[in-house]
Amino acid sequence: MVADQGERAAAEGALVLFSGGQDSATCLAWALERFGRVETVGFDYGQRHRVELDVRPVVLEAIRARFPDWAGRLGDDHMLDLSVLGQVSDTALTRDVEIAMQDNGLPNTFVPGRNLVFMTFAAALAYRRGLRHLVVGVCETDYSGYPDCRDDTMKAMQLALNLGMETRFVLHTPLMWIDKAETWRLTESLGGEALVGLIRDETHSCYRGDRSQVHDWGHGCGECPACDLRAEGWRRFRATP
């Protein structure tokens, strides 16, 4: 049965929501191990840390060059203009303001509706491209409390997309129940030190878009919540024998 499921997956295609960050790059490697054809989609929504869009093609090309077994599976990359999302958002990810907690208990880096919009457009693209599987790097273990990253939200989105498009999408969230240290371990299990090094050096997670500073865990300001999570995850990953 397991073998049959693996064979079916290898014959099917997947679309990975790929931002250029650590989590989505790990999910991309996860998908490349499982599916016969993998395409990627990114979103330009006027994000403050838009340097992540610049590193996307660098990461994709590095995967093709350094992992020949995956190169043949890695298909087209798509970039969608969702600047309207930035226009209706007033957050620390779409405006040059200090990162802070809000009265509702969420950080002001939360972009309301962002993942809901992303999933809807990704599904529309996957429908056109004939891709059944959607892979996204959301997580509710090491995260900032964003409600659109939660497992319940993703399950509801899968149901809504399948009902609304009358199809059978499968939403995959490989990182949902693991922390950042375990994400690094997953990276290592998928592609060894070569993949760990690629994701450390080439991806971008810093909310401030700072690539001028280099740490042992990668580029970033070293002070924002995204850098804190990545750095602490790296420390615990490297501390594990």
- Binding site listing for ATP: 18-28
DSSP string over the chain:
-HHHHHHHHHHSEEEEE--SSHHHHHHHHHHHHH-SEEEEEEEES--TTTHHHHHHHHHHHHHHHH-HHHHTTEEEEEEEE-HHHHHT--STTTSS----B-TTSSBTT--TTHHHHHHHHHHHHHHHHT--EEE----SSSS---GGGSHHHHHHHHHHHHHHHTS--EEE-TTTT--HHHHHHHHHHHHHHHHHHHHHHH----TT---S-EETTEES-SSSHHHHHHHHHHHHHHH--
Instruction: Enumerate the known binding-site residues for Zn(2+).
Output: 206, 221, 224, 227
Binding-site residues from annotation: 18-28, 206, 221, 224, 227
